[in-house]
Amino acid sequence: MLYDKARINVVAGGGGDGCLSFRREAHVPHGGPDGGDGGHGGDVVLVCDDSLRDLQSFKRSVHYKARRAGHGEGALRHGADGPPLEVRVPPGTQVASWDGSTHDLVVPGQRVVVARGGAGGRGNKKFASSTIQAPRLRERGLPGEEGWIDLRLKLLADVGLVGLPNAGKSSLLGRMTRAAPKVAAYPFTTLEPVLGTLDGPDRQLIIADIPGLIEGASDGAGLGHDFLAHVERTRLLVHVLDLAPLDGSDPLANHATIEAELRAHDPRLASLPRLLALSKADLVPADEAQAAAARWRERLGDEVPVLVTSSATGAGTDELARELLRRVPLSGAVHPADALAEDSPSVEHRVFRPAANRGFRVERLDDGVFRVEGDGVERLLMRHDLDNDEALAHVEGRLRRMGIISALEAQGFEPGDDVEIAGIMFELHPG
């Protein structure tokens, strides 16, 4: 069974704590602080691995947690960074993160950091200055990012076979490639996409048998969204149309139904090159099959080749294979994987990340009680032990420089009032 969707939880490693330490060697009268910094927590990284073909491994394992970093130590020894946790996914995987960001992994070796490790805390050596020569404060490491991400696999096939259920797509794929899709003498529909490799004289093509679509598939009828998603990456579509439908339906109406669903799902699909394969020609007289092909050529024009095929006898399958090898472009301008490879800088690249949110909001809860919210100020409180007088004085100084004390005073704050930040309530006495 092809697993093309998964939801996993990723947790990056926390940063290491800074160290509070002083030199105490003999005959060193003024050793001073020598606490080292904590390391950076390990990232969670998705890696595109060409040896994988579906997301089946994520059905067995859902939680992925990177290791935290080492703590700082005395003698200015810094903690080791946490190693990144690499999670391997198949080419064609789309990633939707909890923060709304999306990534597309299509090139083998491509890497995306989905959860960043926490920053390490500074040791007391970093707080030494000309006025504070023996600081007794250090920072805690910050926790790493964590959340749920959705993985969606969209097949990286060159050619997609589309059509109504029981149109003969699986039989055609089995005849043209070494794939072994389920084929039987009774009507049924394939429940998952099947890939096959078409070998040419100097190249290969990947052909995907997309399970049968029905009317309303673009709106989610049946498993429409699941199936149509795999068509998006193909370079060329082969519309397989049954010459003799078992239910007696009109092939013209069947053709219109599939084309309408493709356009409704993604307008780009309407612009992809097409071939029309009239299947099951062995079930109708030869002259009737050729007459039907002539009518379709007149209806679709010269841009859409029309071929008469029979998976049972092999008629027309070699011609279809030659046409696919001729029409699928060698250049990767259409294929997302090749397009990404061409657009990637060959020498160097720059990564731009959004700056941390430095804004804050002050709210008066009651007489003498205030709340301050904001990412920057919450990180500040997480880093320090407010039971430490030096740490508390350092935090108060930072709050003043950030403009928070002024904002509190504008709301009626007085020294000694209670302030809640990041769930911590404490008395604030700014000097």
Q: Are residues 91 and 211 in the same domain?
A: no
Query: What are the distances in angstroms from CA 86 to CA 49, 174, 266?
Result: 11, 36, 33
Centroid of chain to Cα 237? 26
pLDDT value, residue 320: 92
Distance CA 391, CA 394 (A): 5
| DSSP H or E segment with residue 93 | strand 93-96
Q: Are residues 298 and 394 in the same domain?
A: no
SS3 content of the chain, % helix, strand, coil (to 5): 25, 20, 50
Q: Supply the CATH number for residue 125's domain.
A: 2.70.210.12
Q: Supply the CATH number for residue 394's domain.
A: 3.30.300.350
Low-confidence ranges of the chain (pLDDT < 70): 1-2, 156, 178-193, 212-230, 232, 330-358, 431
Distance CA 136, CA 391 (A): 8
Range of the structural domain that residue 298 is part of: 159-338
CA-based R_g, the chain, Å: 32
Structure tokens at 13: 């490693």
Question: Is 347 a member of any domain?
Answer: no
Q: What domain count does the chain have? A: 3
- Find, among 157, 122, 155, the residue nearest to 137 by Cα: 122
Q: Are residues 112 and 176 in the same domain?
A: no
Distance CA 42, CA 13 (A): 5
Q: Are residues 275 and 314 in the same domain?
A: yes
Contact assessment for residue 177 and residue 207, using Cβ atoms and an 8 Å cutoff: yes
Contact assessment for residue 36 and residue 79, using Cβ atoms and an 8 Å cutoff: yes
| Distant-in-sequence, close-in-space partners of 206: CB < 8 Å, separation ≥ 6 | 156, 157, 158, 159, 195, 196, 197, 198
Q: Are residues 388 and 319 in the same domain?
A: no
Question: Is 351 a member of any domain?
Answer: no
Contact assessment for residue 66 and residue 12, using Cβ atoms and an 8 Å cutoff: yes
Q: How many CB atoms lie within 10 A of CB 129?
A: 8
Give burial (CB, 10 Å; 0-12/13-18/19+) of 355.
exposed
Q: Are residues 248 and 267 in the same domain?
A: yes
Q: Parallel, antiparallel, or unpaired: how do β-strands 63-65 and 418-421 relate?
A: unpaired
Q: Are residues 209 and 268 in the same domain?
A: yes
Q: Are residues 203 and 148 in the same domain?
A: no
pLDDT, tens only, 2-48? 577 899 999 999 999 999 999 887 777 777 899 999 999 999 999 99
Question: Is 345 a member of any domain?
Answer: no
Q: Are residues 94 and 211 in the same domain?
A: no
Domain boundary among 153, 180, 195: 153
Q: Are residues 189 and 331 in the same domain?
A: yes
